[in-house]
Amino acid sequence: MRLLVIEDNRDILANIVDYLEAAGHVVDCSLNGPGGLHLALTERFDLIVLDVMLPGMDGYQLCQSLRAAGNEVPIIMLTARDALDDRLQGLKAGADDYLVKPFALAELAARIEAILRRVQGSRQRRLQVGDLVFDLETVAVSRGGLALKLNPACLKLLEVLMRKSPAVVRREVLEEALWGDNIPASDGLRSHLHLLRQVIDKPFAQPLLHTVHGLGYQLSEAEHGR
C-alpha cells in the first residue's frame, strides 16, 4: 500500500517511515501542511497519517481541504492533544481515526491495517479518481459532487478506466470490454470516448481522461497532452 505521512518532527517522521516501510508499505512524506496537501491532491495514496500541528496549515485545515475537494482517502490524525474536544474536531474535519502522542508504532500500524481492510471492502463497490466517483452499487457517477449522466457504453468504459487508473489502458482492452469478440469495423470506440470526455471533463477545469498516443487511454489527475 502507498501511504503519505505528514509530520513536522523529523525524528518522529523518520521513525514512522522506517517502521511502515519495514512492514511492506511504500511511504511518501512531507514536513509541512501545504506540501502535504499538494502531494495528497496530486498523487494517489491508500491512507494518510496526518499530524495536527503543522507549519503553514494545520492538520484540521488540511483534512477539511481534502474533503472539500472530494478526496476521501482515509486519514489517521496524530496529536499530543488528548482532550475530547480536540478528538471531536479532528473527526468532524473528516479524519477516520485519531491517535494521541506518544503512541506505539505497532498500534499505528495495526490501525492502518484495520482501516485499509475496511476500505478495500468498500472500494470494490466504489471507484474514485480525483473528484470523480463511480458507485458500482447504484451505478451513480459524480464529479465534485455534481451528478453525471452516462449511457451504458460510457459507464462500462469508465469502470474499466477507473479500475486500471492511473495505468494506460490499451484500446484493444476497451474494445473487448464493450463488444467482446464482435468488435465493429468502424471506430466506435473513439465516438464513445468522445461522449465520455464531454460528460466527465468538459464542464470541469482539470481533464481526467487522456489520450496516450500510440498506447491507449488513461484516467488520471496528472497533466498530459491529448
Give 9-22 pLDDT, tens digit per residue. Answer: 999 999 999 999 99
Reported as type and span, the H/E element at residue 132 is: strand 132-135
Distance CA 161, CA 167 (A): 8
Q: Measured in Å, how far apart are the chain's first and last C-alpha atoms?
A: 30
Distance CA 90, CA 32 (A): 17
- Its pTM stands at 0.56
Nearest to 73 by CA among 104, 28, 8, 14: 28
DSSP alpha helix (H) spans, the chain:
10-22, 33-42, 59-68, 84-93, 105-123, 152-164, 171-179, 188-200
Other Cβ atoms less than 10 A from the Cβ of 226: the count is 10
Distance CA 95, CA 104 (A): 20
Distance CA 128, CA 48 (A): 16
SS3 assignment, position 176: helix
Q: Tell me what pLDDT residue 156 has.
A: 93
Distance CA 29, CA 37 (A): 11
Q: Tell me what pLDDT residue 225 has.
A: 46
pLDDT tens sequence for the chain (226 residues): 899 999 999 999 999 999 999 998 899 999 999 999 999 988 889 899 999 999 999 999 999 998 888 888 999 999 887 667 777 777 888 889 989 888 999 999 999 999 988 877 655 678 889 899 998 888 999 998 899 999 999 999 999 999 888 889 998 899 988 888 778 777 889 999 999 999 999 999 999 999 999 889 999 987 654 4
SS3 assignment, position 47: strand
Distance CA 178, CA 173 (A): 9
Nearest to 153 by CA among 185, 184, 196, 187: 196
Q: Tell me what pLDDT residue 121 has.
A: 61
